[in-house]
Amino acid sequence: MVRPGSDKQNVSQRHTSSIEMTETKTTSLVSGHTASLLEGEEWAALIKDFPSYHGGLVRLFPGRWLYPQRFCDFSEKLFNFQFREEDVLVMTYPKCGTTWTQEIVWTMRNNPGLDHPEADAEAFDRVPFLDMDMFTPLSEEMVSISKAFKRLCPGADPRDGEMVQLAQALADPRTLKTHLPFSLISANVLDNAKVVYVARNPKDTMLSYLHHHRLFREQEFVGSLEKFVDHFVNDNLVYGPYWLHLKEAWERRDHPNLHFVFYEDLKADIMSELKRLDAFLGTGLSHDQLANVAKYTSFGEMKAREEKTLDKEFMNNEAFVNQEVRNKDGGFFRQGKAGDWKNKLSTELVEKMEKWISQKCDFGINFK
Ligand code: PPS
């Protein structure tokens, strides 16, 4: 979810949505949802712990999805986004391994010989993150943040959604990324494109998301681990509820254009998972090419390439990234492990998470 920054923008410049809310502070979205601006006690509790959301948060009904208010500006473009036959969309709730999987998919499709001249280009430029625009500050002097956007969309206004416009301008075969659930993107996405959905154990996902909220100022969280667990189990984190995100994908798992994968399986046996992906994507790679992909997308190699694939200025800028947290706990590529929750969560927190799993994730999914 990391986005490149620009020296003309900082977190204090965040502005509210340009969408008009009715007197009751609700608006209807083309997806069929009603967006309702958070107010009163619910808002007071969240803005205290997540001060960077001062632009407002909305709940979408049905689903109780939580988003920055700016999501409403882009919801129509995202819902009506035209997928093409050659598209592969990597879809996950945040911190489930999107960046890893999109690099795997992009490399399998474009760079199995590891000789592609643009392989080191920033991740956003090769794999547009469709819903990123809602996190971009809306300012008068808004500056384009993607190099590919400037090149492929000359004269286009970044305020109209830089990532969506970049994705539209990108030549086939496109690999795209989203953290949106199925219900907020085009209903016929699976008729038109292939989707790779990645699930991750909720306890590791929650811990990785906590790190994200401490690291990146655009989603800053200032409370304790215990408080964050409460927000997680009460579906109070942006892009949540995680259980519903998973459920919508799980229900579609037998669709021939959906490939459902667990982060833990990628960790446990990457070659087997790459073979499964090869069959799904129809890439027809040799054993040596798959081995190339496995090595090139390993945690160590991706972390080593961080300065190329993530915007260096953004990552080094204290206004965007908490450097103390980065030095102490790690940066975007934090640990890349499965099961580390065992070292981080007290018995009480494990019980709270387990209760949430058994009550909410009761649709047949078994976490690894
Ligand atoms: S985001 O910000 O939502 O897009 O994050 P996302 O990419 O989905 O997930 C980030 C976590 O994935 C880990 N990661 C990897 N693990 C294994 N191998 C590779 N190559 C890899 N690349 C990223 C990353 O470190 C985050 O997990 P944690 O547990 O925080 O380390």
Q: Where are the domains of the chain?
A: 81-360
Using a 6 Å cutoff on CB, does residue 333 contact ligand 1?
A: yes
Angle formed at CA 261 by CA 260 and CA 265, multiple of 5 degrees: 155
The residue written with tokens 């991740």 in the block is 123
pLDDT in tens, 257-281: 999 999 999 999 999 999 999 999 9
Q: Which CATH superfamily is domain 81-360 in?
A: P-loop containing nucleotide triphosphate hydrolases (3.40.50.300)
Using a 6 Å cutoff on CB, does residue 211 contact ligand 1?
A: yes
Backbone Cα Rg of the chain: 20
pLDDT of the residue at 198: 98
The residue written with tokens 């819903």 in the block is 131
Query: How many angstroms does the Cα of residue 105 sit away from the middle of ligand 1?
Result: 15
- Decide: helix, strand or coil at residue 137: coil
Backbone angles phi, psi at 60, to 5 degrees: -105, 130
- Extended beta strands in 22-73, E state: 26-28, 34-37, 57-61, 65-68
Closest CA to 100 of 278, 253, 288, 301: 301
Name the H helices within 259-316.
263-268, 270-281, 287-296, 299-304, 306-309, 312-316
Q: How far apart, in whole angstroms, are the C-alpha atoms of residue 196 and residue 212?
A: 23
Query: How many angstroms does the Cα of residue 103 sit away from the middle of ligand 1?
Result: 11
pLDDT band at 308; cut points 50, 70, 90: confident
pLDDT in tens, 12-49: 344 456 666 776 689 999 999 999 999 999 999 999 99
Give every strand in the sheet of 26-28, ordered side by side: 26-28, 34-37, 57-61, 65-68
pLDDT in tens, 98-117: 999 999 999 999 999 999 99
At 29, list the tokens. Answer: 């979205």
Give, for ligand 1, the residue of 93, 95, 210 to mutate: max count of ligand atoms closer than 8 Å to Cβ: 95
* Nearest residue by C-alpha to atom 4 in ligand 1: 1
Using a 6 Å cutoff on CB, does residue 200 contact ligand 1?
A: no
Contact present, 233 and 127 (Cβ < 8 Å): no
In angstroms, how far apart are the furthest CA atoms of the chain? 61
pTM: 0.94
**Amino acid of residue 169:** A
pLDDT of the residue at 142: 55
Q: How far apart, in whole angstroms, are the C-alpha atoms of residue 195 and residue 88?
A: 6
